[in-house]
Amino acid sequence: MLFIFDMGGVVTTTFDMQVIFNKLNTTKEDFFNICNQHNDNIWDKLETGNISTVDFWKTFNSRVESLQRNLFDGFLKIGGKVKSSHEVQIQNIPKVEIDLFRLYFNPKIQEKTCELIKNLRKKHRVVCGTNTIQSHWENHTERGDYAIFDKTYASNKINCAKPNPHFFELILEAENYKPEETFFVDDKQNNIDAAKSLGINAELMTTPEELYKKWKKYF
């Protein structure tokens, strides 16, 4: 059988994007609105490997500077009236000079999940199926986190991200397994739903201990 494990939130702790929002003095909503400005979603492009981290932050900075310039010009045109709290927030977003995704990325290993993977690999094929970005891929690689798997399928390398069902189709094709022969675990329900739509046996992650109990029968 084939077992597919998500990475963040399953094998390691997940990355908390709130630290990025706090650093930029912005909200999750505004951050992703900036990412998707002009219907050109640079976050999606980053996650599917279609732009580098350097290009992401370069474009993000450019978009913020444009918003701030437009707000300042509008401020002058209306005679310098008090700005709304949202406008003040946009004006306070600083220029990003360093890769914040890398700077704040310090995942911790879930030991019980790793124990499960090692036991499953004695009889089965076990791979990683993860949505990730260049900075996090490089960090995990340097730490040797992917070495626990037979192979890793990362969104930034296969140019497709969950919950797109094609993400799973690519893995099944590469591994030559049928959906009914495949098990998948993830900490996000929409990814679970996408896998199930193909007939994959999918399990929503609760705790490493609970997953171990459920899957130890396959050792």
According to DSSP, the β-strands at 182-186 and 151-154 are: unpaired
pLDDT tens-place string over residues 9-65 = 999 999 999 999 999 999 999 999 999 999 999 999 999 999 999 999 999 999 999
Q: Which of 34, 72, 10 is nearest to 210 (CA)?
A: 10
pLDDT digits (tens, 9 = 90+) for 176-197: 999 999 999 999 999 999 999 9
E strands, 60-155, are 125-130, 151-154
- Judged against a pLDDT cut of 70, whether residue 77 lies above it is answered with no
Q: Checking DSSP bridges between strand 125-130 and strand 182-186, what pairing results, if any? A: unpaired
User: What is the SS3 string spanning 26-41?
Assistant: CCHHHHHHHHCHHHCC
Whether the per-residue pLDDT at 217 is higher than 90: the answer is yes
b/e sequence 19-53, b meaning 16+ C-beta within 10 Å: ebbeebebeeebbeebbebeeeebbebbbbbebeb
In this predicted structure, what is the pLDDT of residue 76?
Answer: 45
Q: Under a CB-based contact definition with an 8 Å cutoff, are residues 28 and 209 in contact? A: no
CA dist 171 and 150 (Å) reads 13
Residue 91 pLDDT > 60, yes or no? yes
**Token reading at 79:** 């005679």
Strand partners, 120: none
Would you tell me how many other CB atoms lie within 10 Å of the CB of residue 137?
20
Q: What is the reported pLDDT for 87? A: 75
Question: Looking up tokens 């709130």, which residue turns up?
Answer: 18
Q: Is the pLDDT of residue 82 over 70?
A: no
The fraction of the chain above a pLDDT of 90, given in percent, is 89
89 pLDDT tier (thresholds 50, 70, 90):
confident
Q: At residue 125, does pLDDT exceed 70?
A: yes
In this predicted structure, the answer to whether residue 85 has a pLDDT above a threshold of 90 is: no
pLDDT value at position 88?
Answer: 76
| Residues paired with 203 in a beta bridge | 185
pTM: 0.92
Q: pLDDT class for 78, splitting at 50, 70, 90? A: very low
- The mean per-residue pLDDT over the stretch 198-205 comes to 98
Please report the beta strands in 6-157, taking only residues with DSSP state E, as ranges in sequence order.
125-130, 151-154
Residues of 93-111 as b/e, b for ≥16 C-beta within 10 angstroms? beebeebbbeebbebeebe
